[in-house]
Amino acid sequence: EFYYADFCDFYLESTKPVFKSSDIELEQIVWNILRQCNNYTLLMYHPFIPSITEELWQKNNSVGSFDSILDFKYPSSSDIVNLTEVNIEEVDEVIKTTKSIISMALKIKKAVNTNERPSILVKISNDLISKEIKNLSNEIVHLGKLKFIEFETKEQNSNFKHSINLKLSDKCDITIRFENEINVGLAITRFEKNLEKKRIQLKSIKNKLNESEKKEDQTSVDKLRFELNEIISEISNLEEQLKMLQSMRK
């Protein structure tokens, strides 16, 4: 999950603005960090998927050489960072907050079905976390497909047609804002219809699951349970986005 959801979807994507810049020195630093992170991940995966990790290792590291991943020891925390010098809880909070801001911005934009890039106003009660989030502003704007991000001050831009206030955590509140008119009513109707279809599908899957359990058809039971979890997750996401839209109409 780390490699797919965190390293590829978040960390790798957040570095793209760096590689589009003209700062060659910064590019090299970021590239070295990404390469090291990728190498450690491959080393940890190697006992479980040896063939794939060996091939990826060769492509990532061997330039005119034949070094194998087997030539390197399994990593430990001491190889990566001195954990006594890092406040892991604060680092984790910064990462979670950053990802939550990005995720929520994308969900809202998808919910209202607009091409407009919204802006975000962020209020964070913890000064240290706020400072780190400010340092990540460019990455948040890039990944969240935002127009800009600003942090709560005495004077705020109020030229917005629609806005939605969200509490991401005890320490972080955000306001997602749109400058143009959004047909919230139409978006709500679309989501309500989609939600009703999903609930009908859910009922159908539950009925099929009950029948399969009575017949003791384990293959069908496993398949239907997987489908059941998928549809429940979809319904949960739709309900969450519908609540957001309803709050915008208010």
pLDDT, residue 90, reads 82
Query: Has this prediction a pTM greater than 0.95?
Result: no
Please tell me which residue, 176 or 77, carries the higher pLDDT value.
176
Q: Per mean pLDDT, which range of 81-85, 167-171, 181-185 is the poorest?
A: 81-85
- Is residue 103 located within the same domain as residue 76? no
CATH number of the structural domain spanning residue 164: 3.30.2320
- The pLDDT tens digits of the residues spanning 94-121 come to 888 898 899 888 888 888 888 889 999 9
Q: Which of 178, 202, 219 is the last residue of a domain?
A: 178
- Is residue 122 located within the same domain as residue 169? yes
- Is residue 174 located within the same domain as residue 190? no
CB atoms within 10 A of CB 94: 21
- Rama region for 190: left / alpha / beta (φ>0; ψ in -120 to 50; rest): alpha
- Is pLDDT above 70 for 155? no
Confidence of residue 195 (pLDDT cuts 50, 70, 90): very high
**Do β-strands 162-167 and 119-124 pair in parallel, antiparallel, or remain unpaired?**
unpaired
- Is pLDDT above 60 for 66? no
Q: Which of 82, 98, 132 is the last residue of a domain?
A: 82
- Is pLDDT above 80 for 44? yes
